[in-house]
Amino acid sequence: MTRVPPVLDVDAILDDRGTRIVVCCGSGGVGKTTTAAALGLRAAERGRSAVVLTVDPARRLAQSMGLTELDNTPRLVHSSGEGQLFAMMLDMKRTFDEIIEAHADPERARQILTNPFYQSLSSSFAGTQEYMAMEKLGQLRRSDEWDLIIVDTPPSRSALDFLDAPERLGRFLDGRFIRLLMAPAKAGGRSAFKLLNAGFGLVAGAMTKLLGAQVIKDLQTFVSALDAVFGGFRQRAEMTYKLLQAPGTAFVVVAAPERDAMREASYFVERLAEERMPLAGLVVNRVHLSPAAALSAARSAAAAEELETKGEHELTAAVLRLHAGRMQLAAREHREQEHFVSAHPTVPVVQVPAMPQDVHDLAGLREIGELLART
Residue 12 is predicted with a pLDDT of 97
Chain-centre distance for alpha carbon 194: 47
- Higher per-residue pLDDT: 249 or 29: 249
Nearest to 249 by CA among 273, 284, 280: 280
State the chain's mean pLDDT as an integer: 81
- Which 3 state secondary structure label does DSSP give 289? coil
- Higher per-residue pLDDT: 336 or 316: 336
pLDDT band at 180 (very low <50, low <70, confident <90, very high): low
Of 50-54, 161-165, 311-315, 337-341, least confident by mean pLDDT is 161-165
Rounded CA separation 90/72 (Å): 5
Residue 203 is predicted with a pLDDT of 45
Q: How many CB atoms lie within 10 A of CB 25?
A: 28
Nearest to 241 by CA among 21, 87, 43, 54: 21
Angle formed by the axes of helices 165-173 and 226-245, nearest 10°: 160
Question: Which of 142-146, 163-167, 203-207 shows the highest mean pLDDT?
Answer: 142-146
Q: How far is CA 38 from CA 10, 32, 33, 363, 370, in A?
A: 11, 10, 9, 10, 9
Q: Helix/strand/coil (H, E, C) string of 94-111?
A: HHHHHHHHHHCCHHHHHH
Q: Count the residues in the chain.
A: 375
Residue 166 backbone dihedrals phi, psi, to 5 degrees: -60, -45
Residue 70 is predicted with a pLDDT of 86
39 burial level (CB within 10 Å; 0-12, 13-18, 19+): buried
Rounded CA separation 146/163 (Å): 22
Residue 125 is predicted with a pLDDT of 59
Residue 190 has pLDDT above 50, yes or no: no
- Which 3 state secondary structure label does DSSP give 253? strand
Residue 372 is predicted with a pLDDT of 96
- Give me the helices (H) in the chain, please: 10-15, 32-45, 60-64, 92-103, 106-113, 116-124, 128-143, 165-173, 176-182, 192-211, 213-224, 226-245, 259-274, 297-310, 314-343, 362-373
- Quick one: average pLDDT of 205-223? 57
Of 105-109, 200-204, 237-241, 328-332, least confident by mean pLDDT is 200-204
Of 41-50, 198-207, 360-369, least confident by mean pLDDT is 198-207
DSSP code for 290 = -
